[in-house]
Amino acid sequence: MILIMADDVSWECFGCYGGEDYKTPNIDRLAAEGIRFEHCYSTPICTPSRVKIMTGKYGFRNYTHFGYLNPKERTFGHMMQDAGYQTAIAGKWQLNGLYNTLPGSDDPKRPQKAGFHESLLWQVTRGKGGDGGERFWDPPLEHNGKFITKEENKGKYGPDLLTNFVCDFMERNQEGPFFVYYPMVLVHDPFVPTPDNVGNAPINHGLNKAPKGYEPRKKNFVAMVEYMDKLIGRITDKVDELGLSEDTIIMFTADNGTNVGIRSQWNGTEIRGGKAGMKDNGTHVPFVARWAGHTPKGTVLPDLIDFTDFYATLSDVSGTKASVKEPIDGRSFFPQLNGLEGNLRNWVLCHYQCYWNKKPGQFARTANYKLYRDGRYFEVPIDLDEANDMAATVTGLAAVIRRELKYLLDRCPPVPGGIQKKDAKERPLYPDTPNLFDH
């Protein structure tokens, strides 16, 4: 089982979704050999999405700080370990609580305590200052709790090292069940060259500084998207080379929308990156899955996928029996991976307060209609910019759906009001909120 999650890139950047500025043949191939989901939704920024996907819970239950996963939380790593899987995580961690110097933020073994036998990660106990540094060229990484300095990784490209680790882990564990979670460091800013477009530039840590001006940055961003795709191709090819295609589900998604400084052509329309915002370009992310011999080839599904659903699906994949310690917010899409209809969602929910100087909010939506807690209501597919608020004029089916979504939101805990910075004093949680599916 492999779950790959890219950093800061949304649906408009992939050929199989209609993206026009980027070549993504390997992700497109996964979609052609498996399933492409049209409606997968994250939160607008990285840490809330990462905590949500790892724990299967909405943020009102367990999210308190940007850059932090409470070590008391049970993750899908723990769940897969309990089911007998060898587990590994590679890529971006940023969950120790470094930004608030929370208890245990200097603990190098936190990834192991979060359910992963092996790890190779950026930003476990070091930020970018001091002996830390950027994730791309000469990256400082931590391997199973051991710090590897940027000097030791001199001349190396972080995404290559992380992908090598994933491929090596699969090869060493091919005889038994394994679970790889790969939250990639690509394609987050700074927008810098990859090995495929670095040219004759000297290879040193200074390469991690982005060039000035939009055009050179966009050129590097395109190269980063395409290099990300290349690395996913390497992982897919390794699975096939090991003869594990029919035994291994490969899933690819992303944590939130594209950086706001990037503009992309999609189906003849310009899409501006929407990271940190609650519109479609901030929360609508790609999701493709391939399981050879199981997923019907080239299927495109309109099913709603919420980030809470990944934990529930992994539970079904591993055969874990439901218990009181498992989260209640997700709905498994494992049947769809087998070509079955499944137990479909009628809505997805976004609860957003990241404690990082961003505007909070909450919405519930179907594939077509989206209701914010403050009453704004949009038909999103024909109004991506959310310029036409229908709240006062809606009739017919749209009015029925609006009432149903409002009923749901009325039963959700509220988002803490106002823009909250990292040092916010009030961080309310509502862990005992009843199962929203019961409503």
Q: β-strands 141-143, 361-365: how paired?
A: unpaired
- CATH number, domain of 156, equals 3.40.720.10
Q: Is the pLDDT of residue 382 over 70?
A: yes
CA distances from residue 53 to 19, 58, 378, 389, 411 in whole angstroms, order as listed: 25, 9, 26, 30, 22
E-strand ranges in 273-390 read: 284-285, 287-290, 299-306, 348-352, 361-365, 369-372, 377-379
Same domain flag for 311 and 363: no
Tokens of 418: 């106002």
Please give the tally of structural domains in the chain: 2
CB of 39 closer than 8 Å to CB of 312? no
Same domain flag for 393 and 333: no
Phi and psi angles of residue 71, each rounded to the nearest 5 degrees, phi first:
-65, -10
pLDDT digits (tens, 9 = 90+) for 341-376: 999 999 999 999 999 999 999 999 999 999 999 999
Same domain flag for 389 and 324: no
Other CB atoms closer than 10 Å to residue 233's CB: what's the count?
16
Same domain flag for 198 and 235: yes
User: Which residue has 């909250």 as its token pair?
Assistant: 420
> Which DSSP string do the residues of 218-287 spell out, in sequence order?
HHHHHHHHHHHHHHHHHHHHHHHHTT-TTT--EEEEESSPPPTT-EEEETTEEEE--TTSSSHHHHEE-E
Same domain flag for 288 and 362: no
**In which band, very low, low, confident or very high, does the pLDDT at 416 lie, cut at 50, 70 and 90?**
confident
User: Which residue has 């993504």 as its token pair?
Assistant: 24
Label residue 213 left, alpha or beta by phi (over 0 means left) and psi (-120 to 50 means alpha). left
Same domain flag for 19 and 70: yes
What per-residue string of b and e applies to 319-357 under the rule 16 or more CB within 10 Å gives b?
ebeeeeeebbbbbbbbebbeeeebeebebbbbbbbbbbe
Q: Is the pLDDT of residue 254 over 70?
A: yes
Tokens of 75: 């993750």
State how far the Cα of 227 lies from the Cα of 231, in Å rounded to an integer: 6
Which of 346, 370, 387 delimits the end of a domain?
346
Same domain flag for 394 and 334: no
Q: Is the pLDDT of residue 438 over 90?
A: no
**In which band, very low, low, confident or very high, does the pLDDT at 86 lie, cut at 50, 70 and 90?**
very high
* pLDDT at site 439: 62
Range of the domain at 426: 350-438
Same domain flag for 337 and 432: no
- Residue 250: alpha-carbon gap to chain centroid: 14
* pLDDT at site 417: 83
* pLDDT at site 323: 72
**In which band, very low, low, confident or very high, does the pLDDT at 325 lie, cut at 50, 70 and 90?**
confident
Same domain flag for 309 and 177: yes
The mean pLDDT value for 415-425 works out to 90
Which of 346, 364, 380 delimits the end of a domain?
346
Residues 6 or more apart from 193 whose CB is under 8 A from it?
Answer: 199, 201, 207, 220, 223
Residues 6 or more apart from 25 whose CB is under 8 A from it?
Answer: 15, 229, 233
Which of 325, 346, 367 delimits the end of a domain?
346
Q: Is the pLDDT of residue 324 over 90?
A: no
Same domain flag for 383 and 256: no
State how far the Cα of 328 lies from the Cα of 434, in Å rounded to an integer: 9
pTM: 0.98
From 41-55, 66-80, 321-335, 420-434, the region with the lowest mean pLDDT: 321-335
CB of 367 closer than 8 Å to CB of 375? no
Same domain flag for 372 and 284: no
Grouping H, G, I as helix, E, B as strand and the rest as coil, residue 183 is strand
The mean pLDDT value for 152-170 works out to 98
Same domain flag for 358 and 244: no
